[in-house]
Structure 1
Amino acid sequence: MKLSGREVARYFARPEPGRAGLLLYGGDAMRVALKRQEVIARLLGPNAEEEMRLTRMMAAELRGDPAALSDAIKARGFFPGPRVVFLEDATDSLADTIATALADWTGDDAQLVVTAKQLPPRSALRKLFEGHSNAYAIGIYDDPPGRDEIEAMLAGAGLRPPEREAMAALTDLAQGLDPGDFRQTVEKLALYKLNDPAPLTAEDIAACAPASIEGGADALIQVVAEGRHREIGPLLRRLQAQGVTPVTLCITATRHFRILHAAASDPDGVASGVARLRPPLNFKARDRVVRQAQSLGQRKIEQALSLLIDTDLTLRSAQRAPQMAVIERSLIRLAMLSGRRS
């Protein structure tokens, strides 16, 4: 059976132990691996490795010994409890071998968890799991985790539900980080809040967020906000070579201009608006934001945010324009707007 949408979220929150098998496939190996770890941990509970209730197999092992998969699924261990056979990097060439193992499966056997790279709809492996009455197939895509997934990660790490601003900061962070780095950030937050029962705050997120994602992108956005459009090209090429994505740059720019908007729209003036920002800025950053917000003014900042929203929608759509060219054009337009006198 094929799972999608809310069915996937429900399954990952509570995997079903009575199923014969599960296929996880996707183009991002890290995302697939993290979901596989999550599923197996929830199926088997703690100490599965020590109690030998988890058997790991590589696809290459089965080419010379196809019966090894069925043998592993049927094998009985010394310790009671659910068992899983994990088959990594499967391809369509193993579809018949896996089909045989699933056909012989009984309720006393180990559940089979299979991972694979991106599979087209015509894939024999996908068809096998999607057409099976007691097995699931789930595609793992490159979309950043949504609110439900983030809340599940936090709960799994023993963290209380965050404040609204903290959840917004985590959502932005999840969009800019790869899955492994985001999970490490959640684990760091769990250690940071180990003896603190209070909910997560935006200050906590700022304290634990990796600096690497901010540095180069933030430097570029400062150039944009100050209207130095001639410096954008070289900085953008450098960030592109480092693997920074256009979506990350758009998110970083939007976050910065939202800060400027909060400062510029404060009824008591820009300086008061900056002083009220949460999390608070350091002294140097505070002075820079005051200068930028005063120079731009509320109307231009709102125009910039409108442009960034349109750019974000374009980057996430099915358009064929090169994404780096799209973000470069938008950043230059922002810089020209910033450098233009009202």
Structure 2
Amino acid sequence: MKLSPRDFARLVAKPDPALSGVLIYGQDAMRVALKRQELIAATIGPQGEGEMRLDRMAGAELRRDAAQLLDAVKAQGFFPGPRVVFLDSVTDQGAEAVQAALSEWRPGDAQIVATAGALKASSKLRKLFEGAKAAGAVAIYDDPPTQQEIEAELTRAGLSDISPDAMRDLTALSRLLDPGDFRQTLQKIALYKHGDATPLTPAEVADLAPASHEAAVDDLLHAVAEGESAKIGPLMVRLHAQGVAAVTLAIMAMRHFRSLHAMNCDPGGPSAGIQRMKPPIFGPRRDRLLRQAQGWGLVRCEAALATLTEADLTLRSSSNAPSMAVMERALIRLAMMARR
């Protein structure tokens, strides 16, 4: 049978002992692995508790010994409780061995949990699980997690008291990070909030979120956009010592002021414009950028972009001017412009 993501969520919440096997397939190996972990843990218990009732088998091994899957399914375990045979990265070449195991499956045998990469509709393996009455297949797509999936992740991580603003930022963060990184971030937040009865705040989400490679430049760009010209020189020296090139600063400054310009171009104003930004902006940085966009306005944002374009052309030309000095001069001009 073909399982939808909602059907799969119900299966994880309440495993069906009458199912002989489930195929989980998709392009993103990390997403597939996380779903497989959820299903196996729901069937035999968390890692450690049900480890002795789990058999692992690589899909490539079926080409050398097709009967080993059926043997594993029929084997009698020493420990009471449901058993699972995890078949990792199976392909159409192992479809015959899987078919034999599914056809011989009887209640009490080990359930098969198989994973695969992206499968076409013509795939033998996919047709096998989708056409079986006592087995199912679910496709895992690269879509951002739904609100229900995020809430389930929060529950698993032990997070229950979350402010609406923090939930909004976690939703935005889930669209920026890979599923595995997002789950690790939630676990880190849960560890940080352990024993703390206060609700999770947006500031805590921002502090505990993984830092991007652009974080070191943010202080400089905020200083420029907020008119703090005295901070520009020391920050430029520090970034230069870290190996950040002037052209890199020009590109990131252009990106920053384009974001402010896009917010001001929205018919609903900067407050509506920041809601449409891709990737999403969350946490205290969201409020800070909104204040900057409101302070600069559309006309001055366009003047700032003209100044940065001129500096970028100078950096890429045959001019002998020191590149960091050219960039520092342009940024100071912008900071002075912010004060007007």
- Which TM-score band applies after superposition, normalised by the shorter structure? 0.5 to 0.7
Report Cα offsets for 1:171-203 as digits up to 9, x if no partner. Answer: 110101111110110110110111123443222
CA RMSD of aligned residues (A): 4.0
Deviates more, 1:7-16 or 1:204-213: 7-16
Q: Deviations over 1:233-275 (max 9, x none)?
A: x659999xxxxxxxxx99x959x959x94599xxxxxxxxxxx
Q: How many angstroms apart in 2 are the aligned matches of 1:224 and 1:100?
A: 67
Q: Post-superposition shift, 1:163? A: 2.0
Compared with structure 1, are the counterparts of its residues 41 and 225 closer, same or farther at alpha carbon in structure 2 (3 Å cutoff)? Answer: farther
2:54 match? 54
Stretches of structure 2 lacking an aligned partner (at least 5 in a row): 227-246, 274-281, 302-336
Paired residue for 1:11?
Answer: 11
Q: Within 1, Cα distance between the matches of 2:111 and 2:224?
A: 53
Q: Are 1:174 and 2:190 an aligned pair?
A: no
- 1:73 maps to a residue whose letter is V
Kindly indicate whether the alpha-carbon contact (under 8 Å) linking 1:53 and 1:84 is maintained by their aligned counterparts in 2. Answer: yes
**Alignment identity in percent?**
50
Q: 1:261-320 deviations in whole A, cap 9, x for unaligned?
A: 4599xxxxxxxxxxxxx95569xx95x76554211169x9xxxxxxxxxxxxxxxxxxxx
SS in 2 for 1:52: helix
Q: Equivalent residue of 1:65, what SS? A: coil
Partner of 2:134: 134
CA distance in 2, matches of 1:236, 1:96: 57
Q: How does 1:213-232 map to 2 (within 5 A)?
A: 215=215
Paired residue type of 1:296: G
Q: Which residue of 2 aligns with 1:294?
A: 295
Aligned position for 1:121: 121
**Do 1:48 and 1:54's aligned partners in 2 also have CA atoms closer than 8 Å?**
no
Aligned AA (1:192): Y
Q: Matches of 1:214 and 1:106 in 2, distance apart? A: 56
Whether contact under 8 Å (2:263, 2:293) holds in the other structure is: no
Give 1:65's aligned amino acid.
Answer: D
Q: Point out the structure with max Rg over C-alpha.
A: 2
| Alpha-carbon distance between aligned partners in 2 of 1:97 and 1:224, rounded to the nearest angstrom | 64
- Counterpart-to-counterpart distance in 2, 1:216 and 1:146: 31
- Which SS does the other structure have where 2:154 is aligned? helix
Cα distance in 1, alignment partners of residues 220 and 4 from structure 2 = 38
Determine if contact 1:155/1:161 at 8 Å carries over to the other structure.
no
1:36 and 2:36 are equivalent in the alignment: yes
Find the counterpart in structure 1 of residue 160 from structure 2.
160
2:2 is paired with a residue whose SS is coil
- Could you tell me whether the CA contact under 8 Å between 2:59 and 2:88 is conserved in 1? yes
What does residue 105 of structure 1 align with?
A: 105
Q: Is the CA contact (8 Å cut-off) linking 2:21 and 2:111 kept in structure 1?
A: yes
- Is contact 1:55-1:85 (8 Å) kept? yes
Decide whether the 8 Å contact of 2:23 with 2:116 is kept in 1: yes
